[in-house]
């Protein structure tokens, strides 16, 4: 908020030492437009903040985009920008008055252009929440006008570390194995919130999911497995090799895993090694086609996505519905991850050629462009790499069910060898014919 009576922590902005603007709290203030090419900043942190303050984050622009990060409210400062521009950089937005702004500032609820053209045509409205004031993975506790960041180890530990108890809300069941009969729910391994590094025995837990519904179960897993730990997911209640859907290890920790059963039954077996450094897994499940409150359907029973997954650059829906019509991209294009403002066309997705700097256009591919092979890990490779004797998919699915798997090197060697043999055969035939001709002359 903007106030002259801010106590504790506050930020002072002014183009001169008069006409100052004092900011505090965690609500994003309106843009600050200076009257000249410089701004004075003064940050004050009172001793009564008890270490709970998180400072501020500030972005500013003059002609081109620049950024400054302070020691957590976000602040946007616009210096007396150049007007009358006819074009802007690829990562910028052209205002109606000719001003160039970062594309990420479009449709953010603030009038940075000065003529509000950066807030026109914002449909659908952005549903993603405001950026967190705490580092990724930490737990924010909002108290009065300050935000305190807690380590993730305090989440669901049985103690109210936040005054409002938000750190103990919506905690999954961490019982070591259970039979679950609801058509949706959540559960986690016993070590997900409370890792036991001193255990000298193997941890072995089994969960049986029986929704009493013929529709398939959609299971989403957040993995933090340690080396040697494993998670077996079976189609049905019988934990046999022929019913294994997927065997997960610490190599699968990078992204949430999404698995689907053939009917309303599924089972999960978790095994952790003694003294494992991992933290197990957290799981949510639901009957296919059903969405949790606050979620949105992908359509055609393809799953669901939440508000914070909307326009985040990662396809949670097979059809990409959660990434369609995002404010930061032109019509018909999809955003890259990271909020960089970069976008790509549908024809550039899942073709084994990175368009996004982070390769997000090649992640979680449910289908591939023509001329590509779909790996079991939802990645795409060139079709010519299929059954060539070398595993290009992480799960080796490109080398399965091959009639004859011959390595590329063997094929190359065979071709060279056949050419050499053909050349030698031609030379031999030539010599034979020459010798035959000489003998015929001798008998004449």
pLDDT 10s digits, 251-271: 898 788 989 999 999 999 999
Q: Are 335 and 343 a contacting pair, CB within 8 Å? A: yes
pLDDT of 64? 44
pLDDT of 71? 40
- Look at the pTM and tell me if it is higher than 0.75: no
Q: Are 72 and 55 a contacting pair, CB within 8 Å? A: yes
Q: Are 124 and 325 a contacting pair, CB within 8 Å? A: yes
Q: How many CA atoms lie within 13 A of 316 on its CB side?
A: 21
Provide the pLDDT confidence category of residue 85 given band limits of 50, 70 and 90: low
β 40-44/56-62 pair status = unpaired
pLDDT 10s digits, 406-433: 555 556 666 787 777 878 888 878 787 7
Q: Which residue has the tokens 């043999």?
A: 421
pLDDT 10s digits, 310-357: 999 999 888 899 999 999 999 999 999 988 889 999 999 999 999 999
Q: How far is CA 396 from CA 212, 256, 391, in A?
A: 35, 20, 5
Q: Where are the domains of the chain?
A: 10-119, 139-168, 178-287, 312-399
pLDDT of 288? 84
Pick the CATH number of 10-119 from 2.40.50.1070, 3.30.230.10, 4.10.400.10, 3.40.250.10: 4.10.400.10
CB burial of 116-147 (b: ≥16 within 10 Å; e: otherwise) equals ebbbeeeeeebeeeeebbbeeebbbbeeebbb
Q: Was domain 178-287 assigned CATH 2.30.110.10?
A: no
61 pLDDT exceeds 70? no
User: Which residues, at least 6 apart from 241, have a Cβ–Cβ distance to it below 8 Å?
Assistant: none
Please state, for a pLDDT cut of 90, what percent of the chain lies above it: 28
Provide the pLDDT confidence category of residue 69 given band limits of 50, 70 and 90: very low
| Separation CA 443–CA 277 (nearest Å) | 91
51 pLDDT exceeds 70? no
Cβ atoms within 10 Å, residue 222? 16
β 21-23/10-14 pair status = antiparallel
- Which helix (H) or strand (E) segment holds residue 246: the answer is strand 244-248
């Amino acid at each position: 908020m903007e106030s002259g009576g801010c106590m504790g922590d506050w930020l002072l902005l002014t183009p001169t030492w008069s006409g100052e603007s004092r900011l505090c709290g965690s609500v994003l203030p309106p843009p600050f437009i200076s009257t000249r090419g410089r701004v004075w900043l003064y940050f004050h942190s009172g001793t009564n903040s008890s270490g709970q303050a998180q400072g501020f984050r500030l972005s500013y622009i003059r002609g081109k985009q620049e950024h400054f990060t302070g020691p957590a409210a976000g602040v946007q400062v616009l210096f007396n920008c150049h007007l009358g521009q006819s074009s802007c950089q690829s990562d910028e937005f052209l205002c109606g008055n000719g001003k160039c702004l970062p594309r990420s500032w479009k449709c953010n609820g603030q009038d940075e252009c000065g003529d509000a053209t950066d807030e026109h045509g914002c449909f659908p409205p952005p549903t993603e929440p405001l950026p967190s004031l705490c580092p990724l993975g930490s737990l924010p506790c909002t108290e009065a006008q300050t935000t305190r960041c807690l380590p993730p180890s305090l989440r669901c530990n049985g103690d109210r570390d936040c005054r409002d108890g938000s750190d103990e809300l919506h905690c999954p069941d961490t019982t070591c194995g259970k039979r679950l009969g609801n058509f949706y729910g959540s559960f986690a391994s016993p070590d997900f919130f409370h890792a036991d590094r001193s255990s000298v025995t193997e941890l072995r837990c089994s969960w049986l999911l029986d929704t009493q519904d013929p529709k398939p179960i959609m299971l989403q897993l957040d993995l933090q497995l340690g080396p040697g730990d494993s998670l077996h997911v079976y189609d049905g209640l019988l934990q046999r090799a022929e019913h294994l859907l997927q065997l997960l290890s610490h190599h699968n920790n990078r992204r949430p895993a999404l698995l689907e059963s053939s009917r309303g039954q599924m089972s999960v077996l978790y095994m952790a090694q003694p003294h494992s450094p991992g933290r197990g897994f957290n799981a949510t499940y639901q009957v296919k086609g059903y969405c949790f409150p606050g979620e949105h359907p992908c359509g055609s029973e393809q799953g669901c996505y939440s508000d914070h997954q909307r326009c985040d650059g990662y396809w949670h829906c097979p059809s990409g519905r959660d990434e369609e019509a995002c404010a930061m991209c032109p019509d018909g294009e999809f955003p890259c991850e990271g909020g960089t403002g970069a976008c790509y066309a549908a024809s550039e997705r899942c073709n084994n050629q990175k368009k996004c700097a982070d390769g997000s256009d090649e992640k979680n591919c449910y289908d591939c462009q023509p001329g590509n092979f779909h790996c079991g890990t939802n990645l795409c490779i060139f079709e010519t790499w299929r059954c060539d004797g070398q595993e290009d998919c992480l799960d080796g699915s490109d080398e399965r069910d091959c009639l004859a798997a011959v390595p590329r090197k063997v094929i190359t060697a065979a071709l060279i060898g056949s050419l050499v043999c053909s050349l030698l055969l031609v030379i031999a035939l030539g010599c034979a014919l020459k010798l035959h001709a000489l003998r015929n002359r001798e008998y004449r």
